[in-house]
């Protein structure tokens, strides 16, 4: 603790959890998940950056190595995408005494350009003799006297924080927002139906935000769709890797099934039939992966297949719950979010999706289940599904 302070190299990062604090009995489970994810995030920036991480009094206290301190900027960028993090702050640590806290506060403030300031103390340390309020006043008075800068309680240029816990005083002036949510992996596993479009990556983001671990499934119609379309899927996964560093991607050929549908069934029902197959295959992959639900990028009424009637007919062929995080979003809201998570520019690259191939001009918007079932009787459904699953390929995409 007595190390010389380097004002540009905070050795610690204090991470505050989002909702985990209220999770009762499961709390330590969530905390450990978050801790694992933070460790993995640091490893993905580079080796040997983390000296230690501890869970202390509703915070995660990360100690950086000298190499970690060097790469703070990159670490900050990554931590801003770790679900479960409410906010975090690179910090310095001194003995919890005014005579050590004040020089550090002055040192940190002296290297900044500002007019007004405030001190905000948070006290979770009984041993410290002063209340948080009095600490603010005492340290504030010292800064006023030494630097001739005025205090401003609302909207100050700098808010210098003193966090008293772990028999220490942690001091910092910069705090960064995390994305909130729950740690990835704390809510189980799901299969994500990932197309090259705008919607499904955004749906994936929201699902991951609530703590699920994603296994991606993409359907292609090679040779009618291109290898470029698959490369685009990989790029989208790399965007999602910021939130979940390791994602398994299944690539499934829908072509043989589409060919069967094309020759044997009513044109109007094709889209619904394709989609029922996609759901069955995804469900089978989910079973093999131990995943408990299917995520899609559908919202109500966006395209012909997305009427409530059609969704009901499609869901009818499987048992797993289908979760649709975007159900109530307008297209422009989805686009805004796609821009924010940086999937948008990839999604708008032109590509041919298997679902848009061989699609009739006027697909049924209200397919009736009995018509669909009658059509499927002309196909060897189980066999087609089995072949598609057993010939599916997968790859792991790592950050």
Distance between CA atoms of residues 238 and 246, nearest Å: 9
Stretch that binds Mg ion, among 28-36, 263-271, 341-349, 353-361 (CB under 5 A): 353-361
Residue 302 CB, shortest distance to Mg ion, in Å, is 9
Residue 355 CB, shortest distance to ligand ATP, in Å, is 4
Distance between CA atoms of residues 296 and 244, nearest Å: 17
Residue 140 interacts with Mg ion (CB under 5 A): yes or no: no
Stretch that binds Mg ion, among 13-21, 156-164, 197-205, 235-243 (CB under 5 A): 197-205
Residue 305 interacts with Mg ion (CB under 5 A): yes or no: no
Q: Which does 302 bind (CB under 5 to 8 A by kind): ligand ATP, Mg ion, none?
A: ligand ATP
CA distances (Å), origin 142, targets 96, 138, 147: 17, 6, 8
Residue 177 CB, shortest distance to Mg ion, in Å, is 32
Distance between CA atoms of residues 261 and 276, nearest Å: 11
CA distances (Å), origin 68, targets 16, 21, 106: 19, 27, 25
Taking the least distance from each CB to ligand ATP, the nearer of 127 and 223 is: 223
- Do residues 160 and 171 touch, judged by C-beta distance below 8 A? yes
Residues lying near ligand ATP in the complex (CB under 6 A): 193-195, 197-200, 217-219, 296-298, 302-303, 305-306, 353-355
Q: Which does 200 bind (CB under 5 to 8 A by kind): ligand ATP, Mg ion, none?
A: ligand ATP
Residue 69 interacts with Mg ion (CB under 5 A): yes or no: no
CA distances (Å), origin 219, targets 88, 225, 281: 39, 10, 10
Nearest Cα to Cα of residue 247 among 283, 316, 295: 295
Q: Which does 128 bind (CB under 5 to 8 A by kind): ligand ATP, Mg ion, none?
A: none
- Do residues 398 and 238 touch, judged by C-beta distance below 8 A? no
Distance between CA atoms of residues 71 and 82, nearest Å: 17
Taking the least distance from each CB to ligand ATP, the nearer of 143 and 388 is: 388
Residue 195 interacts with Mg ion (CB under 5 A): yes or no: yes
Stretch that binds Mg ion, among 131-139, 193-201, 229-237, 328-336 (CB under 5 A): 193-201
Nearest Cα to Cα of residue 283 among 217, 184, 353: 217
Taking the least distance from each CB to Mg ion, the nearer of 123 and 270 is: 270
Distance between CA atoms of residues 334 and 337, nearest Å: 5
Helix (H, G, I), strand (E, B) or coil at 9: coil
Residue 353 CB, shortest distance to ligand ATP, in Å, is 5
Taking the least distance from each CB to ligand ATP, the nearer of 146 and 302 is: 302
Residue 297 interacts with Mg ion (CB under 5 A): yes or no: no
Q: Which residues bind Mg ion (CB under 5 A)?
A: 195, 197, 353
């Amino acid at each position: 603790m007595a190390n010389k302070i380097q004002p540009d190299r905070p050795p610690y990062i204090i991470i505050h959890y989002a909702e985990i604090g209220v999770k009762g009995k499961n709390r330590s489970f969530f905390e450990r998940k978050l801790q694992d994810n933070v460790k993995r995030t640091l490893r993905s920036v580079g080796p040997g950056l983390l000296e230690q991480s501890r869970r202390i009094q509703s915070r995660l206290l990360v100690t950086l190595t000298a190499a970690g301190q060097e790469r703070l900027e990159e670490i900050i960028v990554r931590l801003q995408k770790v679900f479960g993090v409410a906010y975090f702050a690179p910090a310095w640590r001194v003995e919890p005494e005014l005579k050590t806290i004040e020089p550090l506060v002055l040192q940190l403030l002296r290297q900044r350009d500002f007019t007004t300031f405030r001190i905000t103390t948070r006290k979770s340390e009984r041993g410290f003799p002063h209340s948080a309020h009095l600490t603010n006043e005492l340290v504030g008075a010292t800064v006023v006297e030494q630097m001739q800068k005025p205090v401003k309680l609302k909207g100050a240029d700098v808010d210098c924080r003193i966090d008293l816990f772990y028999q220490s005083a942690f001091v910092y002036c910069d705090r960064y927002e995390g994305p909130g949510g729950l740690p990835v992996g704390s809510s189980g596993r799901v299969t994500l139906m990932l197309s090259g479009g705008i919607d499904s990556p955004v749906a994936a983001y929201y699902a991951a935000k609530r703590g699920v671990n994603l296994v991606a499934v993409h359907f292609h119609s090679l040779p009618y769709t291109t290898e470029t379309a698959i490369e685009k899927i990989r790029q989208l996964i790399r965007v999602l890797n910021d939130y979940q560093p390791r994602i398994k991607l299944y690539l499934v050929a829908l072509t043989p099934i589409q060919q069967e549908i094309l020759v044997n069934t009513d044109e109007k029902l094709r889209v619904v039939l394709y989609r029922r197959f996609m759901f069955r295959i995804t469900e089978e992959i989910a079973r093999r992966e131990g995943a408990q639900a299917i995520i899609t990028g559908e919202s109500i009424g966006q395209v012909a297949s997305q009427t409530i009637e059609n969704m009901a007919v499609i869901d009818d062929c499987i048992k797993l719950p289908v979760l649709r995080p975007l159900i109530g979003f307008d297209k422009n809201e989805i686009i805004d979010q796609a821009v924010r998570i940086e999937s948008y520019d990839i999604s708008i690259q032109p590509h041919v999706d298997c679902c848009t191939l061989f699609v009739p001009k006027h697909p049924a918007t209200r397919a009736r289940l009995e018509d669909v079932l009658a059509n499927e009787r002309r196909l060897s459904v189980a066999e087609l599904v089995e072949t598609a699953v057993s010939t599916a390929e997968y790859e792991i995409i790592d950050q």
